A and B are shown apart, each in its own frame.
Chain A
């Protein structure tokens, strides 16, 4: 008789109190922040000013300040929209899908990743909104009524589906995040020494006292929200992929697009989680909670989704040829040897070749290496959208209407600006909200304790008596 070796997701010697203290400290003790926080925040804040300038100028002059043209009517705006939305996906996958799959390793990274989702969706949402040219009439996208507006959205257009998919995604993600925060707000309220902090967290905690009834309602609500979020992981990026796939542009119109986009989104999202988690856990000494095991598993998920994406690239090339269609073959040739060929080959390098290093366990234990690979993936996923969007558009069916796409200064300013916005929001989040789920860590710690205890008690004595599994839920009360 044997059991698989247990995985430990909390390191060091912990107690309920030490978990509260170590995670809560980051918020409650504002002096604990390293100087790097201020430096990064200041730089990000500067970039937000660039974003503000770019948006103001855009509103004043119109979308003509961007590099989009005929035939490339979609450029940085849509590339960055898809890129940001994709980055958000890891958050939903970690918090909802892994919860339903009962994967305990999600517990220390979910809060963090959910915050990332919300800020990434905010960045993403700006682009199509501003691309309409008249964001002040965005309500025209809603089916407000033919009698009041004199018009009706074209519901056969995936662009309209996008509006609903993304706004639902934003709403559900924000709700999920907030509901998950409530018990932790209560912990912070109880631990805070400052009166104002107590009042603020007290209001956010919405009267949480940790009674059995509270926990029961909480667990139900959380599970329902997870169930709602799970299809969103698939649907949002599938609908984004329909924006392209339902058209008949070579390079856009291929049936693998929905799953290939979803895998790409999760790929980019995990790269971003790793990009943020690796420095954060070092700066805030949270290596006991975001353990080496977590980094290892995230790297594995990144590798797996990266392989799906690479599979998509192979299919595109093979079926481009197999179709026997002149335009499809020309599109593949143009990608590989046309004016944007260096971008295509950089894409293959960044997304297809470099991440293969993650097969090696040693690389998955070397954090600088994972950090660098994550950057490659982030850049690669951006290049993928670049290859799909303007490179497919700039040479279509008629050679007489071919053109080139070159982003303008304002395109780049706005892109850099949203990166600044994202970093600024993440840094504010880390400073003012608990970045790791405190009560889930306590629950996980208790389970780990009991499992270890049981292991010591019954060495070689057959199946483990299961008092532990049943007890775990009830002891949450005490944990508060």
Chain B
């Protein structure tokens, strides 16, 4: 019998003080910046919020997938992504600065003066208006939080009771949950991110975002597991089969990201309609075109070639570097997607952007580690992971 203490990862606890410190320093510095120049500080904060929201939702969607498919890769990362999914209400709280201080700055459609002068926005105002926006926000976050909490409880309970019916119970919630999440997240991303440019629309946008979330979380969790592959409990489960699965998971998301990116770009470029091509015109202004090209090379071609090689997927140290690389590029990618709407002359290098990102990220990581403090980082109800080790 494996005891609970073997399943802890004390190394993760170090993240708690560091994260909180970064969070306080970052957000404090950002607040100073906000006093000086409100608009760019809010935009920078918005980018930080979007990135860490993507991490949270990515954790949640992988929890749903893991419970539906019940595969071994899902078991290896389950406790980590559950801990990330617990942060759904935190992300709602962290959205408050934007809602309270920057609604009109970030979302032009919320400003009645802008809407009065714009026929298309008047048409959209049935959907894009502040009160309905808030209703949707609270509804979506509330339902996701509820679902994440129930699923977490059920999987913790199975560790205690070893009752296999609970696995089926989770599948029964998670499978329709994916459907519910797909629909709500589509509207959510349309509301929170797409509507920063209220005229523009793309039907694949939400899918593109969710795939990016999956990629970010796959790389984040792979990084944690491979970095600690010599420590307990991961040293018992890290073997070529598991690293190959994790590598393939990142590979799959890399491919899907490229696929959705290319689909959206090709269709808009080819059609070249003035109401759609604004997105790519904005996103190739000034330095953004070089940044976009860099993301394509760094987030598709490089991982694609490297992850095809069996060696990268077999050696944990190499996979760890690969995962870190993908995670860093994800940050640049989200910046490239979110920021051009605000700064139309190319990427900017503002210390408030960095402070907001570090602040929100520090808090997120600290709370992520806090959720796992003193707890098992692997589920003990399913022994398939340990068996794979002997095979």
Contacts and interface: CB of A to CB of B under 8 A. Distances in A.
Contact of B382 (A3, A234, A259, A319): A3
Interface string B253-270: 000000110011011101
Interface stretch (A139-147, A367-375, A432-440, A463-471): A463-471
Contacts of B199: 324
Interface stretch (B48-56, B343-351, B383-391): B383-391
Given A248-B271, A315-B186, A466 B203 contact: no
A399 interface: no
Main SS class of interface, B: helix
Given A255-B202, A324-B124, A2 B259 contact: no
Contacts of A234: 259
A259 to B, nearest CB: 6
Interface residues of B, number: 43
B275 A323 contact: yes
B186 A1 contact: no
Contact of A463 (B167, B260, B383): B383
A38 interface: no
Given A1-B1, A259-B204, A324-B124, A246 B266 contact: yes
B263 A319 contact: no
Contacts of A315: 186, 203
A444 interface: no
Interface in B1-47: 1-2
Contacts of B205: 255
Given A4-B382, A316-B203, A324-B124, A255 B263 contact: yes
B267 A307 contact: no
Contacts of A255: 202-205, 263-264, 267-268
Nearest to A308: B182
Given A4-B164, A259-B259, 9 more contacts: A1-B2, A3-B387, A247-B271, A253-B267, A256-B204, A257-B263, A316-B203, A322-B127, A469-B391
B203 A1 contact: no
B70 A2 contact: no
Nearest to A227: B308
A102 B245 CA distance: 11
Given A248-B271, A257-B263, A4 B391 contact: no
A256 B162 contact: no
A187 interface: no
Contacts of A418: none
Main SS class of interface, A: loop
Contact of A4 (B167, B183, B266, B267): B167
A390 interface: no
Interface residues of A, number: 37
A248 B273 contact: yes
21 contacts: A1-B383, A3-B387, A4-B164, A238-B259, A246-B267, A246-B271, A253-B267, A254-B267, A255-B202, A255-B205, A255-B267, A256-B207, A257-B267, A258-B263, A259-B259, A307-B179, A322-B201, A324-B119, A463-B386, A464-B387, A470-B391
A2 B266 contact: no
A465 B390 contact: yes
A325 interface: yes
Nearest to B390: A466
A79 interface: no
* A-B CB proximity, top 5 nearest: A256-B203, A246-B270, A324-B120, A466-B391, A255-B204
A2 B383 contact: yes
